[in-house]
Each structure stands twice: as structure tokens, then as C-alpha cells.
Amino acid sequence: MPQPTLLNGFARWADAAGSRMAFLAANLPAAFGAYTRRSDVAFGADPRQRLDVYVPHGSAPARPVIVFWHGGRWSHGDKRDYRFVGAALAQLGYVTVVPNYRLYPQVKMAGFMHDTALAASWAAAYAREFHDPDRLVLMGHSAGAQLAALAALDHRHFAAAGCSIPRIAGVIGLSGAYDFLPLLEADLQDMFGPAERLALSQPLNFVRADAPPMLLVHGAADETVWPKNSRNLAAALEACGVAVTLRLYPHLTHADTIAALSIPARRRAPVLREIAAFVGGLPRAGAVGR
């Protein structure tokens, strides 16, 4: 059975519900949360190398820092549409960094991962200065989950970007693409090719015993990025002795796992509770980069 097209499910949900109106419905309640938002902070020279930071109100010390990358088939999407994610995670008491990254066809895989490494390194430096450097969590939805997982598992991307390897305490993937070969579409082949390099795009291929703990959430009804992506990555991590939590929700589609962070769709699944339990149980990150 062929691999389905890796479209961004949340964007498809937005189209089905009335295009921009769906994101508006998700983001409008988020505008009134108990957090401060710094927008369009530069982590590079390109206009797409910008990020937003959500800091919960209050004086709690040593907050965890979560970096969230949006989905969009590596070719569309914008951090502005995911204010509801920053607000939801800030509600849990986490500082949240939501970066953009350069998209196809402006760049291909090396460009995606360059920007991922730069944003993660920015967040690590920010955590060291203001928050908790030992509780840095990488998170993403769909294509963004692939970026987060690959950065955590294949540290060569930090070296290629001229960055030191941050201490990563955990990874959260929502409907992520981790084991998605073969590629049938020409644009995906172009993004991740040539053929001899396709394996480098698969987080599954870089699982190792010292990988950080992971929470993998997927809808069993996902026909955009098949659930086997999360199942296979979870199995490989478990085989290496890595702490991994796999949550497969029977009736959720690709969009539902991220939509469940928004106030209007929060009843679809307890994704926020899963995130809180996972982050709350993380051991403090140790030094990496051996």
C-alpha cells in the first residue's frame, strides 16, 4: 500500500472549515492568555528565521522551555497560525518558542535542518540565561515533528549550522513523519534527495541508546502521515532502552492532535494532559555531544 501524500493536516482542516476562519477560531481565545508574547525575534538573517516567545505570567523560577515547529509539508505554514500552541503550553507553565523556518522550494532538507538547529540553539541559550537549561524540550507537529526528532537524534545538523549541541531533555511529536520512505511525489524526492541521501531524512535511522525520552502522539485515523511512523519510532526507541510514551487515539485524524491544543477543540483528546505528564516526569538533561 503506497505511502500517503504528506500534506499538512491542520491546513487541510482549516480549508475544510473555512480556510483562515479555522485558525482564527483557534487563535482568538489564545490572545487573552496569561502570558507575554515577544514576536519576530531574529535567530538568523533570512526573513523566515524569526521566532515568537511565550512566557507565562508570574515569577516561577526555572521554567521548562519548549520549542515547537509547525507542520506544512516543509513547504507552507507560519508561526502566526500557531499562537494557540504557545498559549496552551504557557498555560501549563512552560516558556514556549515557536520558530518559522525556510520552506521548500527556497531551501531543501539541509536548509530546514539548518534553521531547526539555529532555533534550538537560540532557545538553549535563552534557557541558560533566563529559565531552566536542563529542561529544554523539542516539539513539532507533522513535518515539524520530523524536524524536532531528527535534530534530537542526528546531532550533525548542529555542527553543520555551526552550533554547539544543546542539552535536550525530551522530544514531543504530534502526528510526526519519522519513517516515511518511499517518497512517491516529485517535490518530496527533490526536498530530501538525491536517492542516496533519502535515508538521512528519516529519524528512525538515527535512534540510539542515549536519545532523549520521547512522547509520540498520533491519530489512528490519520491518512496523511500514517500512524506506523510513530509506532515504528516508538518500537525502535524501546528496543534501545530509551524511555518512550506512545499514545494512539482511535478516532483522531492528522489535524486533531494539534487542534486538541486549542480551546475550541480541546475535548478531542487529552493531548495537553499528556504533555504535562511527560514534561513533569522528565529527568534533567545531561551533557551531550560526546
For the chain, what is the mean pLDDT?
91
Cell of 190: 527533490
Question: How does residue 23 score in pLDDT terms, banded at 50, 70 and 90?
Answer: confident
Q: Is residue 46 part of a domain?
A: yes
Tens digit of pLDDT for each residue in 181-228?
999 999 999 999 999 999 999 999 999 999 999 999 999 999 999 999
| Nearest in space to 117 (alpha carbons), one of 80, 165, 153 | 165
Structural domain span for residue 106 = 9-280
Q: Quick one: 114 exposed, middle or buried, by C-beta within 10 A (0-12, 13-18, 19+)?
A: buried
**Residue 31: its pLDDT value, please?**
87
Where b means 16+ CB within 10 Å and e means fewer, 153-177 reads bbbebbeebebebbbbbbbbbbbbb
> Which CATH number goes with the domain that contains 98?
3.40.50.1820
Cα 287–154–248 angle (5° rounding)? 100
Domain-embedded: residue 288: no
pTM exceeding the 0.85 threshold for the entire prediction: yes
Number of domains the chain contains: 1
pLDDT value at residue 144: 98
Whether 99 contacts 79, CB under 8 Å = yes
Q: Which amino acid is residue 147, in one-letter code?
A: L
Q: Which of 221, 224, 271, 267 is nearest to 11 (CA)?
A: 224
pLDDT digits (tens, 9 = 90+) for 100-152: 999 999 999 999 999 999 999 999 999 999 999 999 999 999 999 999 999 99
Compute the average pLDDT of residues 40-58.
97
Q: Is residue 109 part of a domain?
A: yes
Q: Measured between alpha carbons, how far is 30 from 263 in angstroms, rounded to an integer? A: 8
Predicted local confidence at residue 250, as pLDDT: 96
Q: Is the pLDDT of residue 289 over 90?
A: no
